[in-house]
Each structure stands twice: as C-alpha cells, then as structure tokens.
Structure 1
Amino acid sequence: MISKKWHQAVFFDVDDTMYDHLQPTRGALQHVMGLDDSFPYEAAYHRIRYYSDKLAAEGGLLHRAPGTSELEEMRIRRFILAMREFGSELSWEQAARLQAEYLDRQYRITPFIGAPELMKDLADAGVLVGLITNGPEEHQLQKIRALALESHVAPEHVFISGAVGYAKPDPRIFTAVNERTGTTADVCWYVGDSWRNDVVGASLAGWKVLWFNHRQTEPETTEHSPYGTAASYEELREMLLPT
C-alpha cells in the first residue's frame, strides 16, 4: 500500500543513460572481429541497437520473460543484420561469439561520471529516484548491480519492461509506474537518451522529459519536444538541482 505522496520524482533510463552503451559494443567488435580505430563504431552501435529494438518488438520479447533460446537468437540476429550494413557477412557462429563477448563486457560496466552522485543528492533532497528500462528482468538487474545503482534506488522503484508487461515507448509503462509509486504524471521527470523510447514514450504519458543527448543526435520527430536537453551529468544536475 502506498503510504506517501511524492511531490517530485525523477526516473532514469539505464542503457546509454547510466553508462556508455557503446563501450561494450566497441570492445566486442574489436576483440572478435579485429577491427581497428577507423571502423565507424558509433554508427554500427546505432544500427545494432535499432535491430535489437526492432527484433525484440516483433517477437514481443520486451513485454514478458522470453525463453533463453529465443532471446539468444534475437541477439545473434541483430549483429548479423547490423554488420551486413557495414560490409561484413557474419556466420551464425561468428555472431554468437560476438554476442558472448558483448554480454561479458555488459557486466563490467561503470556509470557515467556524476551519475551516482546526482542520484544520491536527489534522494537526499527528498526526491523519489527510480529506474525505468526495457529488457528481460534478470539481464537488466545484472547491469544495475554492475553499476551499483541499488545503493541509490530502492528495489520497489526499479521498473523493467520484462517484469512490468509494457515496454517503452508504450506510455502504459509510465502510467504503471505512477500507479505503483503513488505519483502523478505532473510531478514526474524522466531522463533518457533514446528519442523514440524515452522522449516520445514519457511525453505521451504526460511526464516532463530531459533528453540525455550525449551523442549529439538529431530529433527523430517533430511532434514531441523534451523539457530540456543535456549532454552531460553536470548539465543534468543544473536542471534537476539548481543552486
């Protein structure tokens, strides 16, 4: 039972918002494929993420607990499809090795500079601090543990699409968070890097969105606009904890 009404809440995305999602991708590509620094890693990262979202949505993998085999197949296929666009035809075995190396590196990640400190200071100021992330529950929880975010976020304020039953950009995941935390949309802020998943999804739910655009990409649509845009946690701090 919700016993406290929160006056303000700030929820963060995880992948590429709490840590640099490009680093495990780059490391895996270099280790398995022997690519050098001239390869366009950031462009490949965006295409891998595109196919990950596309295949997961087509298979309904973000709204439930997927089977191990279907999840592994999706993850391997995303590498095959993405790398094909960069002139590399991967065999299933090569893509599987790439996925295994990537997964290992996903659990050896570190948060962006300033991220844990901002979460702590928000909580100390009486703000409800939480996480909303897409993906299978246990996989996302392992990342959260690797980042030591459980030190700053109560377990009941961690919302993972595979457990909630809705995935961003579906606004129902944000509505579900409001219902479960006793908050209302007008007091909730969401910080995320993805235009489609984070800016559009949270805006449709009536939340204020801060677009963490640290990759300096262009907005994908014109129908929605974030409350503010930041490229670093220093800028996010100025917006969320003005002095």
Structure 2
Amino acid sequence: MSKTNIKKNQQQIEPFPCILEILDFLQTKNIQTIIITNGPSTSQRNKINNLRLNKYFSLEQIIVSEEENIAKPDIGIFRLAESRFKLDRTKTWFIGDSYVNDIVGAANAGWNTIWFNRNYKIKNEKTNLLKTKTVFSSLELKDYLFDMFKNQ
C-alpha cells in the first residue's frame, strides 16, 4: 500500500462501536486512561486524531514507541508509563488487540489485561499461558468495563 493510500485510509478510520461511549463512561468515573502505542510518531498521532480520541487524551497521555525508543512488548515501556502516570501495576488494566505486544507485554509488567480479540484468533498453548480476560467485540468490552467500574 502506498503512503498516499495509507494516509487516505487513516483519514477515513472510525472508532469501533462503543469505544467513545466507554471513554465517556471512564471519564465520568474519573478513571485514569492513557494510550501506549507502537509505531511512528506522526502516523500514530494522526490516527489518534482521526479517531477523535484527542478529545479524551492529551498529548501527554499518549506514549508512542518511536518517541520513547522502546516498544511493546518490552517491559520498559510499561515501567515508563508507571513512572510517568504514577500507576500501581497491581491495579492497572491494559486493553489491547495484539496478544504478543499488548497482553504478553503488560502481563509481564504485572498489569491486569483484557485481550480485545476482535479477529477471533484461536487460543493455543501460548495464549493459555497468561491469565487475561478475553473479549471478542467492543460491545462485550463495554459490558465488561461498565460492570467492573459501576460502583466507582
């Protein structure tokens, strides 16, 4: 895919259903949210803006691997987030769609994890090694998070 097509596709992306509703809910509950993303700074930040996530996350609440010279699943990027945002790893949840980069990385850092398995990847011996909540749709993610934080 050419750079022109990538840029055009990035401008047309939409958040998954329920994601903005989830973020609104988490904000009303005063639950700290951040983004940790792998990739080039310009394209990742453009994607965040095109998804309208900049309404929920300031520039400082977004960790981009290229800017930090460290990427998921390296435990160092999770330690950086803990330090920068004063996170207690035992009470921190990480939601990701890449089992290896997101779930393995966050779990190795001692974080709780939710695998957004939107592509219905089949569990195997590697995916059964870690304790993680698995959801298959953004609606299922919404229901799980709303239930988890309903009393906060």
Q: TM-score, normalised by structure 2?
A: 0.89
Whether the 8 Å CA contact 2:11–2:47 is kept in 1: the answer is: yes
**Separation in 2, partners of 1:180, 1:214:** 30
Residue number in structure 2 paired with 1:169: 73
**Separation in 2, partners of 1:153, 1:125:** 15
Letter of the aligned partner of 2:136 in structure 1?
A
Whether the 8 Å CA contact 2:90–2:110 is kept in 1: the answer is: yes
The one of 129, 136, 143 aligned to 2:47: 143
Structure 1, 151-160 or 114-123: larger mean CA deviation = 151-160
Residue number in structure 2 paired with 1:196: 100
Give the fraction of aligned pairs with identical amino acids, expressed as a percent: 31
- What is the Cα deviation at residue 100 of structure 1? 2.9
Whether the 8 Å CA contact 1:186–1:207 is kept in 2: the answer is: yes
Residue number in structure 2 paired with 1:234: 139
Residue number in structure 2 paired with 1:152: 56
- What is the Cα deviation at residue 219 of structure 1? 3.6
Q: Specify the SS of the correspondent of 1:105.
A: helix
Letter of the aligned partner of 2:93 in structure 1?
W
User: How many residues are paired up?
Assistant: 147
Whether the 8 Å CA contact 1:130–1:157 is kept in 2: the answer is: yes
Q: Specify the SS of the correspondent of 2:105.
A: helix
Whether the 8 Å CA contact 1:195–1:219 is kept in 2: the answer is: no
**Separation in 2, partners of 1:104, 1:215:** 23
Q: Specify the SS of the correspondent of 1:116.
A: helix
Residue number in structure 2 paired with 1:134: 38
Q: Specify the SS of the correspondent of 2:115.
A: strand
Whether the 8 Å CA contact 1:192–1:210 is kept in 2: the answer is: yes
Larger RCO, structure (CA 8 Å, separation 6 or more): 1
Pick closer, same or farther for the CA change 1:179–1:109 going to 2, 3 Å. same
**Separation in 2, partners of 1:223, 1:169:** 17
Q: TM-score, normalised by structure 1?
A: 0.57
**Separation in 2, partners of 1:209, 1:132:** 14
Letter of the aligned partner of 2:144 in structure 1?
M
Residue number in structure 2 paired with 1:206: 110
Whether the 8 Å CA contact 1:109–1:147 is kept in 2: the answer is: yes
1:50-88 CA deviation, whole Å, 9 max, x = no partner?
Answer: xxxxxxxxxxxxxxxxxxxxxxxxxxxxxxxxxxxxxxx
1:120-157 CA deviation, whole Å, 9 max, x = no partner?
Answer: 11111010011110011111000000011011123221
**Separation in 2, partners of 1:146, 1:194:** 21
Q: Specify the SS of the correspondent of 2:36.
A: strand
